[in-house]
Structure formats: C-alpha cells, structure tokens
Amino acid sequence: MSEAPRLIDAEVADRVLARALAAGGDFAEVFAERRGGLTMAIDESRIESVQSGSEEGAGVRVIEGATTYFAHVDGLAEADLERAAAEAASALRGERAEPRPLEAVSVAPQPIETRPEDVPATRKAEILRELDERGRAAGGDVVQLLASYGENRRQVTVANSEGLLSGDDRTRVRVATQVVARREDRIETGAETRGGHRGFELLSEDPGEIAESAARKALGLLDAVAAPTGSMPVVVGGGFGGVLFHEMTGHGLEADHIQKGASVYAGKLGAQVAQPLLTAYDDGRMPNEWGSDSIDDEGTPTQKTQLIEGGRVTSYLYDRLRAGRDDVASTGNGRRESFRHLPIPRMTNTYIAPGEAEPESIIAEVEKGFYAVSFGGGQVDPATGDFVFGVSEGYLIEGGRVTSPCRGATLIGNCLEALNAIDAVGNDFWMKTGICGKGGQSVPVGTGQGHVRISAMTVGGTEL
Amino acid sequence: MSSAGDPAEWAARAVERAVAAGAGEAEAFASEEATREVRVHGGEIESLTAATRRGVGIRVWNGGRVGYGFGTDLSDVGVGATAERAVEAARAADQDEFAGPPAAAGEAPALGGLSDASLAEWPAGRVAELALEIERRALEADSRVVGVEQAVYVDSADRVAISASTGLSGGYEATSCYGYLQALAEGDSGRETGLGFGMARGPAGLDPAEIGREGAERATAMIGSRKPATRACPVVLDPTVAASFVALLGGSLGADAVQRGRSPLAGMIGETVAGDAFVLSDDGLDPDGIASAPIDGEGVPHRRTPLIEEGRLMTYLYDTYTARRGDAGSTGNAGRSGYRAQPSVSTSNLVVEPGRLDFSELLAEAGEGVFVTDVAGLHSGVNPVTGVFSVGASGREIDGGELADPVREFTIASDLVSMLKAVRETGATPRWVPFGGSVSTPPLLIAEMAISGA
C-alpha cells in the first residue's frame, strides 16, 4: 500500500508552526501542496489546447478567538513557509504560544492502478479521437463534438499546532464531451462526463460510450417540444439527478451557513424535514469516487456521515473551526480548492440512499408530469432556500408514460417545500461527477441517487 | 512580504528557455499579484488573508502545433522545466494552419488611472474597518435587517509582462478592489437576502455606506414576496441583471464561438440583432472599466470596438488566432485569466450606451410588467450555442408604471437574439457590474418576455 509523500519534514513543520504562534493564537496550521496536471481537448476533430502545469506552495493560518489570519506563498522551501507564517502572525500582538509535538499519522491514499503521468500523451489523444469518431458516428445530424481530457495530482501535507501531521496523494481523471446536433434550423446540445479519484484505468472501459451518450442526448432534443410551464409532479433521474439534493439540502446543512443563521435548516437538527422514505449521506470515503479523499484539507480522515434518516436531519457538515463552535467533532468536510484558499465546510459525495420503489412504477403512477433525466447544473441561496435547476434532458410524462422530449426547462422552488414533497425513492442507484462552487472555491463533488419523485414542483418552460 | 520580482525579466527568460528547449516560436506571460481579503461577520473579523502569487505561462508553436506549460517555480531550473513541458505538450497537438504567435504590434496606448495609491497606503486594519463599516451600515439602514451573512473586502495589486520570440513585449501594473455583502432581512415569509457591492481601483474609492444600503434595500424589498402570475409581459432588467445577459452576449460575439459554429450570432454581421435603443461596444481602454489595460492577454494593444449600432451587428471580437482564421485583424480581445490559462477570445469591458429615460420614466414606459432585480441559474439555464435560456428570477411587479409587490420563484425565458430585438428603451444611468465580465449598463426595458410563476 502506498503512502502519501511528506512535502515538509516534521522538524520544518514544527519550526513553521512555532513561528506562526510567535505572537499568540489558539491554533496554527500549515498546508503544503504540490499540484500538477495535463489537459487536452479535441475540437473540429483536431487535438488542441494541450497544456501541462506544475505549482507548489503553502498556506498558513492562525486562529485567535473568532478571527482567522491566513497567508499563502508559492514555493515549499523553509524560507517560503517561514514567510507565510510571519505574514499570518503579523496582525497578532499576544504572547507566544507553543505548538504540541507533531505525531505523524499515516493514511492510505485512494488506490491508483495506472498513474496517468505514466501514460504517453499520444494515448490520451487517441482516446479523444475515439470519442470524436464514436460521437460523430452516432447520427448524421451531429455537426460538432468537443471533448476534453484532464488529469491532475494533488499531493498535500497538513501539520497543525495540536500535533497532527498527515498527508494525502490524490489523482483524478475526468473526460467531458459536448455534442452539437443540427437539423435545419434546430440546434441542440448534449453533454456527458466520466470522472473519478482514479488513475487511467477510469478509461479502460469503452470511453467511446461517453461520446455516444452525449450525442444521443443532443439528437433526442432535435425532436423536442417546448417545455411545459406550471406546477406538476416531477420525476428526477438517478446519478446527476442527485444534484437536486446537493443544492436543496446539502448546502443548507453546511455548518458555516447554519451558524450564521443563513440556512433554512438552522435549528432543524432532529426535525422531520422529509417523508420517512428519505435517507441521505455524505461519504468522502467511497472508493475511487470523484468527490472522495482519504483526509480532508485539514487532515481529518474523511467519513460517511448520515445527513437525513427517515426524513429527520441527523447531522450538519463540519470543518474543524465550525465543529469547535458546536463542540462536536469535524465530519471531515473541511475542503479547499488549493493552498491559496481557506478550508470551509464542503460536501464530498452526497447522495440519497436507494429506496424501495421500482423506477418504472415511479413514472407509471404519474398521470401528467415532467421527467428530468439530467441537469446542466443548479444553484441555491441557502438563506432563503430558493433554488433553480437547468434541465439538460427532460421529457413529458403523459398517462404514466414517458413521451415527448422537452427543451429549455428549468425547475424552480424552495428547499423545504420540495424536500418534503419527495414521495418516492427508487431502488436503482448510481453516482455522477460534478464541480461545486462556493465562496469563490471550486471542488470536485459526487452526486447520486436513483429515480426520485417530487409530488409538485414548478417547471419553468417557454410554453405558456 | 517578499521583495518584488520582475515579471518582465521572468517572461524574457522564459522565452529564451523555450526556444532553447526546441520551440519554433514562443511567448511567455508572467505575473505577480499581491492580494488581501477581509471577511467580517457580526462586528468581528472572521478572516484576514494576505498573499502573493506569481507564475509564468509559456506558449510554444512548432510547425502549427501549439503547446502550453505553466508553473510557479521561477528559478532557472523551474522555468526550464516549464518550457520543456510546453514543448512536450505541443508534440501531442495536431497541426493548425492558423496557429502562430502574435506579431510585434505598434505602440500600446498610454493609459493612466489603472493604479490607486490608497491601496498600498491603507494597512490591513484600515481595510478591515471598511469591511466592518459595510456590515454596520446595512444593519443601520433598516430595522428589518437582522444580520449579514458576510461582508467582504478584497484587493489586489498586479504586475503583468508579456514577451514573445517575435520581438513583442509589453506589460502594465494595475490595482483593483471590491467590497460586497449579503444582507439578511426577516419578514413574515421568512428570510430574505440582498447583495450590495462596489468596486474601485483602491479602497478610498469605495463607499461602504452605499454598499451596505444597497444590500439592506435589496433584502428588505423582498419581504412578503409571492409568485407572479404566469404571462408574457414587459420586463425591466436592473443593471446587475442586464449586465449578466450582456456578458452572455459577449461570449457569443467572440470569433472563436462564431468560427466553430457555437454562437447564435454566427453569420449575422450587418444584420439586425437588437432594438435600435441597444448600442454596444467593447472598450479595453475605458478608464472606469476594471478590465482596462494598455494591452490584451497576448500583448496586442487594447482599443474600443463598436459591436452593435442602430440594431445591427458590426463585428465579432478577435484574438490573433481567430483573426488569421477569419481573415480579419485582432481587435485586442485575447483574454487571459492568469498564468495558468492560455489566452482565448474574450470581452474586455462591454459598454451599453445609456438612453434618455430615468428609472421612473422607464417604469412608466413599461406600464405593466415585472422589474427583475436578481437572476439565478445562469450557468445551467442558458444554452450558449443557441442562446436559449430559462433562468430563475426575483424582483417587483410593475403596476400602473410604478413598482409594486415583490415577486420571487419565477422564471424568465427567451433567447438572446429575441431578447435583444425586444429591447425598447435603455435607462439614462449606467452602472459598472463585475459579474461574469466587466460590463457597464443602464437598466433595460424589454418589450415582452415569458414569465413562469403561479
């Protein structure tokens, strides 16, 4: 089993932490990171935008009372780290505090079979060409295909004044495809992704399928009718359909929003917010899943956290700082985009656990409604609970059957109402990859679920 | 913090190393940025960040194959490794007959006012006090404001240099800052939020009272909101919302999207794409625009480019690559989000010309409809290829030519070109908005849009 390399020695980390606490502070931490990656794309059947980068640096934070002092620098030499520590401490005027002796914790990184760096760039280009051919072959109306390949590796080492010294070695690979289809004046697009906290083995299983799936979506939309408008039952598909729960509930359970009273879930711990059929988790330990890490960006091992059990709120999502305020343990959700960012409570892989309903019957029970197979994305204001989702693949449900494809649909509503209106959860289940933005930081997250039905939700289309 | 480096020297050295590593032609972009950020909550400083970041990005061309490398290690060894990565990356790329480095262009225009001395003069304590005042002002503005989710101040001082093997070189320094808050108001219907923001070249140019007041006003205005009736009606977009749509439009005007058939404006030069009232230009030299600089992201001088006049589409926006491919000249619109990204076509500052009606006259002209103050879901509810959109919105009813009840949880739907053609009037007072691009726009009156509510 491999181990994460230490980017800074214990002795150096110890000196940097002592420097950070030289003018006082309750807590100090140094987060060191080396990151590198390769991206390339195929567009107009030509490989382009090939780029490769390497960055390293560190962020040092000192917490004193309610205030966090943070500084980050490029470079991992001791002088760079000292500079960041001195800068973070520069506004403090207290008595020197002593960090505890460091104790190294060894956490196994997620297993990687084939390191992407060991695969020649030409092989990655070949895969993109295969995507291009397969997507274009899916139908004569496919006029364009854009596919991208990305790999990155983040090695991190965290040390703090409470004696923690840990690290992680994270490798992610992701492929995304967008297809444009055209028939006369109608132009439609379809997208598909595959990603994981995995090595190049992610693409061992028929990568061309990714492009075919994107093409199918675009081609299907060529026959689409304008989306309906108004309140109706909505069946949401599995996988990326889970972004609905991510936005509607996951963000509202992040402890920073809760503690500021800027979440509709504040004060709802233990409260029944959904029907008993709903149970949901955040799980940063799912093997090789896109949103998984072995430790979070504060060194806390990731865990499986039950968020909703039988419709009741069972936990919020915590980083160290917010956990300390509520006098609970961190749930391992302190994540940051890079050494240039402060950790905040973030989701990892968030999903609605499989229920008992057959997906077919969830749809068959709807007389007239909307079937949202997948979304382009969504957005929520956790304070008001207002959310909106752009539907990328949707259909009408008429007489219990899926009929015409629809385009241009948006789902809109309020979290607590919509969550409570989930009246069926399917026994099918799968995960999809997403990129979540919050407070100016983007992190990889997984979303998942089976088919889920909301008894009433507003569909905002163009067909009045 | 550290002694300042010299981006011009890094860029020149990077070009040398790239040529030595086997690049036919090479270009380097180097930057150093010092940033500060203060976040406050509940009268206390929540976090105080001070940082520098520096790095270099190297673009190389070898027989029509392009590669890019970037890195933070500015030592000789580090820059050499980045140069080698760029040359290696080019090997994996396919040939492109239009690829090539920007030619050394004429003298870039002199452009003053990009830096403000107050940024360096105000210590951390003073900008923290400014952030605290933004929060305090929101709380004082209205008793129904029960809290502030966060008030934030951010500034940065940047130095940028570009150098290329064609002999091109250039650079500039600029400072900028912004402050914003999310105010929380409590009403019978629950919590409401309101965003207030301001931007300037330095903290002395920010008005904390105005930022706080705007957040408070937007939050309290939503108290008691309900869903509007589903209908097609006149819509007034406030400048922040108008700017979001104008920024989307800017993406469709890039020659890259047009040449690759991914723009709803492809093939429409000279055609009517907007109502006569909608006059648009891209201006990389407007002294008030946050994206202003003497040169673009590949060293080509910035300029002002008229885009829509008398409702007609005048031109697309070009960088060096798309100019060669489209048999046009670069309009100085190679955008660059930093050393980590290759340049690509993007807008600089988009400027919508103000009209003659003040805000109350604009509402009177609308008569009956909806005033939209906020939109959500722009990244998922818009198809950039077709311009078709459906986004979540909130705002106020317009009744009898005046603002009436607050409304929320509805969608507005149309497509970009139909919406532009329906622009009937533009307001007299423009505002700079930094969301999704730098845009100056007055409120816009759209003759008709589909509202999906109750």
All structural domains of chain B:
118-156+175-221 (3.30.2290.10), 231-452 (no CATH)
For residue A346, is it within any domain? yes
**CB contact, 8 Å: A393 with chain B?**
no
Residue A143 and residue A82 share a domain = yes
Q: What is the number of structural domains in chain A?
A: 2
User: Residue A63: which H helix or E strand, with range?
Assistant: strand A46-64
- Asked if A50 and A151 sit in the same domain, the reply is yes
* Sign, Cα dihedral of B193, A344, A414, A395: positive
| Cross-strand partners of B304 | B283
Q: Select from A45, A56, A384, A391 the residue whose CB has the most chain B CBs within 10 Å, as the one to mutate to test that interface.
A: A384
Angle, vertex CA B160, rays to CA B159 and CA B164, nearest 5: 155
Q: Helices (H), strands (E): how many in chain A? A: 9, 23
In the predicted structure, residue A305 carries a pLDDT above the cut 70: yes
* CB-based contact, B260 to chain A, within 8 Å: yes
Cα B88 to Cα B92: distance, rounded to the nearest angstrom: 7
Residues A137 and A204 in one domain: yes
Nearest to A378 among B230, B377, B452 (CB): B377
Q: Tell me the CB-side half-sphere exposure of residue A193, using CA atoms within 13 A.
A: 22
Between helices B124-141 and B208-221, what is the axis angle to 10°?
A: 40
Examine residue A187 and state whether it is found in any structural domain, yes or no: yes
B46 touches chain A (CB under 8 A): yes
Among B66, B69, B390, select the one facing A53 at the smallest CB separation: B69
Q: What are phi and psi of B139, to 5 degrees?
A: -65, -35
User: Is A293 a member of any domain?
Assistant: yes
In this structure, are residues A411 and A388 in contact, taking their beta carbons and an 8 Å threshold? yes
- Paired tokens of B312: 């007609």
pLDDT value, residue B3: 44
Same domain? For A56 and A160 the reply is: yes
Percent over 90 (pLDDT), chain A: 88
Contact A386 B376 (CB under 8 A): yes
Residues A260 and A181 in one domain: no
In a domain, A4, yes or no: no
Helix (H, G, I), strand (E, B) or coil at A244: helix
- CA separation for the pair A323, B177 (Å, rounded): 32
Asked if residue A1 belongs to a domain, the reply is no
Task: Check residue A169 and give its pLDDT.
Answer: 97
Residues A267 and A213 in one domain: no
Where does the pLDDT of residue A271 fall: very low under 50, low under 70, confident under 90, or very high at 90 and above? very high
Q: What are phi and psi of A216, to 5 degrees?
A: -55, -40
Do both A121 and A216 map to the same domain? Answer: yes
Domain containing A30 equals 10-221
Q: Which of B6, B30, B75 is nearest to A75 (CA)?
A: B75
Query: In the beta sheet, which residues pair with residue B58?
Result: B28, B69
Residue B242 phi/psi, 5-degree rounding, is -55, -40
- The residues, ordered by sequence, that sit 6+ positions from A433 with a Cβ below 8 Å of its Cβ are A174, A193, A194, A195, A196, A290, A291, A444, A445, A446
Do residue A131 and residue A112 come from a single domain? yes
Dihedral (C-alpha) B136, B137, B139, B144: value to the nearest 10 degrees?
180
Residue with tokens 């100056």: B440
- Write the burial class of residue B267 (CB in 10 Å: 0-12 exposed, 13-18 middle, 19+ buried): exposed
Closest to A431 measured CA to CA, from A247, A275, A288: A288
Residue A316 has pLDDT above 70, yes or no: yes
Using pLDDT thresholds of 50, 70 and 90, give the confidence band for residue A403: very high
Sign, CA torsion A386/A390/A396/A401: negative
Within this chain, do residues A182 and A275 fall inside the same structural domain, yes or no? no
Assess A204–B contact: CB distance below 8 Å, yes or no. Answer: no
Q: How many other C-beta atoms lie within 10 A of the C-beta of residue A85?
A: 26
Show the low-confidence residues of chain B (pLDDT under 70): 1-4, 105
Distance CA B60, CA B9 (A): 18
- Which residues from chain A sit within 8 angstroms of residue B409, using beta carbons? 386, 412-414, 458
Measured CA to CA in angstroms, residue B113 lies from B54, B173, B286 at distances of 23, 10, 10
- The verdict on residue A69 lying in a domain is yes
Q: Is A357 in contact with A425 (CB distance < 8 Å)?
A: yes
pLDDT value of position B1: 35
Note whether B261 contacts A180, CB cutoff 8 Å.
yes
- pLDDT surpassing 70 at residue A463: no
**Domain termination residue (choose one: A221, A237, A270):** A221
pLDDT digits (tens, 9 = 90+) for A257-266: 999 988 999 9
Check: CB of residue A283 under 8 Å from CB of residue A270.
Answer: no
A47, A53, A378 ranked by CB distance to B92: nearest: A47
Tens digits of residue pLDDT in A317-374: 999 999 999 999 999 999 999 999 999 999 999 999 999 999 999 999 999 999 999 8
CA distance B19 to A314: 60
Are B443 and B373 in contact by the 8 Å Cβ rule? The answer is: no
Distance CA(A221)–CA(A206), nearest Å, equals 24
Complex ipTM: 0.92
- In the listed set A177, A193, A221, which residue is the last one of a domain according to the structure? A221
Q: Pull the structure tokens for residue A350.
A: 């968030």
Provide the pairing of β-strand B369-376 with B231-237. parallel
Q: Are residues A269 and A352 in the same domain?
A: yes
Q: Are residues A184 and A321 in the same domain?
A: no
Domain end call among A175, A199, A221:
A221
Q: Is the Cα dihedral A416, A422, A428, A434 positive or negative?
A: negative
User: pLDDT tens digit string along A276-288?
Assistant: 999 999 999 999 9
Q: Which of B61, B149, B337, B408 is the best mutation test for A, with the most CBs of A within 10 A?
A: B149
Taking the alpha carbons at both ends of chain A, their separation in whole angstroms is 60
Instruction: Inform me whether the C-beta atom of residue A73 falls under 8 Å from chain B C-beta atoms.
Output: yes
Task: Read off the tokens for A303.
Answer: 């865990």
Do A211 and A282 reside in the same domain of the chain?
no
Asked whether residue A67 is domain-assigned, the answer is yes
For residue A5, being part of any structural domain is answered with no
